[in-house]
Amino acid sequence: MEIKKGKIFTITSMKGGVGKTTFVMSLAKICEEEKLKVLIMDLDFYTGNVAFSLNAKTKGSIYNLCDDMANNRIKYGVTDEYIHKINDYIDIVSSPKDPRDVTKIDDKYIDAILNNLVYKYDVILIDTNHVLNEHKMVAFDLSDKIIEILTNDAFDLQGNKTFMAICKNMKVDNVILVLNNSIDERKRYFSMYDIKNILGRNVNYIIPTSFYLKNYQQMVMDGDILNFKNKLSSAGKKDYSKFRENMKKILLEGGKDGK
C-alpha cells in the first residue's frame, strides 16, 4: 500500500516585516478548517516568531532535534517530544531560543527531518527569514511550492527582482508571488504594470488592503493570531472568502505558476 505523502510549502521574502508569519498562520487556519493535519516549521532562526505568535511554551526546538539526530539519540524518526501541539490539527517545531545555536545546525538534518515528517502531515508550512542561506535552500529543494511574500515597496521589489533572477538561473519554476497590500494601505508607489515589468512576471495573488489589522500587535501578544479573520472589518470579511478559496487552491491543488 502506498504511503500518503504530504505537501511542503516554504513561505519566504526578500525583506523583513512583510507579513510572512501572519500569512503562514492564515494558511494553517485554513488547513485546520479543512481538517488537514498541518505542521508549521520555524526556520526563521533569528527572530522565531511562530511560537511567540501562538503563545506556545515550547520545551525543545529544531536545534535540539538536529543535535539529537547528530549524536544518535533518535532511533525511530522524529517523535512527539520535539513537536508542540497547538490543537488537533496544528503542530509546530519552533526555532532555536538562542541564535548562537543556529551555526550548529547542519542542513542535512533539515533534509532528514522534512523527509520524515512529510509522511506524517498533510501539509508542512515552513516559515523563513529574508536571508538566502543553506537551510532555506534545503527547504526550497524539498518544497512543492515556494510562496514569496512581497510589498509595494521599492527596496522590496528590488530584492525580489534579484530573487526572480536567481530562480531563473537555477531553473526554479515553482514560485508563487503574493503581494501583501495589507501592511500599509498608504503604500501605492507602483502599479501592477510597474511591478510586472520590474519582476518580469505577474503576481499570482494579492492580499487586499481590507486585511489591515489595527490591533495586530495586541493579537500577537494574546496568542490569538490564528483567529485574525474574526478581527477584520466588514470589507475584510467580505474579501476573506475569495482569499480563502485562492489559498485552498494552493494548499490542495498546488496553486498556479506565474508567467
Global pTM reads: 0.93
Distances in Å between the Cα of 244 and the Cα atoms of 22, 60, 100 are 14, 32, 38
pLDDT at 12: 96
Whether 242 is covered by a domain: the verdict is yes
Whether 52 is covered by a domain: the verdict is yes
Whether 17 is covered by a domain: the verdict is yes
pLDDT at 139: 95
Whether 2 is covered by a domain: the verdict is no
| Residue 258, pLDDT above cutoff 60 | no
Find the largest Cα–Cα distance for the chain.
Answer: 54
Whether 30 is covered by a domain: the verdict is yes
Beta 7-12 vs 38-42: how paired, if at all? Answer: unpaired
Q: 123 CB contacts (<8 Å, ≥6 apart)?
A: 6, 7, 8, 9, 27, 31, 36, 37, 38, 39, 251
Whether 187 is covered by a domain: the verdict is yes
* Contact predicate 109/70, CB 8 Å: yes
Question: Domain total for the chain?
Answer: 1
Backbone angles phi, psi at 38, to 5 degrees: -125, 140
State the chain's mean pLDDT as an integer: 90
What span, in angstroms and rounded, lies between the C-alpha atoms of 26 and 59? 24
pLDDT at 154: 92
Range list of H helices, 120-233: 134-142, 154-169, 192-199, 216-221
What span, in angstroms and rounded, lies between the C-alpha atoms of 17 and 217? 13
**The amino acid at 220:** V
Residue 38, C-alpha cell as written in the block:
498541518
pLDDT digits (tens, 9 = 90+) for 149-204: 999 999 999 999 999 999 999 999 999 999 999 987 677 789 999 999 999 999 99
What span, in angstroms and rounded, lies between the C-alpha atoms of 33 and 16? 28
The CATH number of the domain where 79 resides is what? 3.40.50.300
**For the chain, percent of residues with pLDDT exceeding 70:** 95
Whether 114 is covered by a domain: the verdict is yes
Backbone angles phi, psi at 83, to 5 degrees: -115, 130
pLDDT digits (tens, 9 = 90+) for 85-126: 999 999 999 999 888 898 899 999 999 999 999 999 999 999
Domain that holds residue 68: 7-253
Whether 1 is covered by a domain: the verdict is no
203-207, 225-229, 250-254: which has the highest mean pLDDT?
A: 203-207
pLDDT at 76: 64
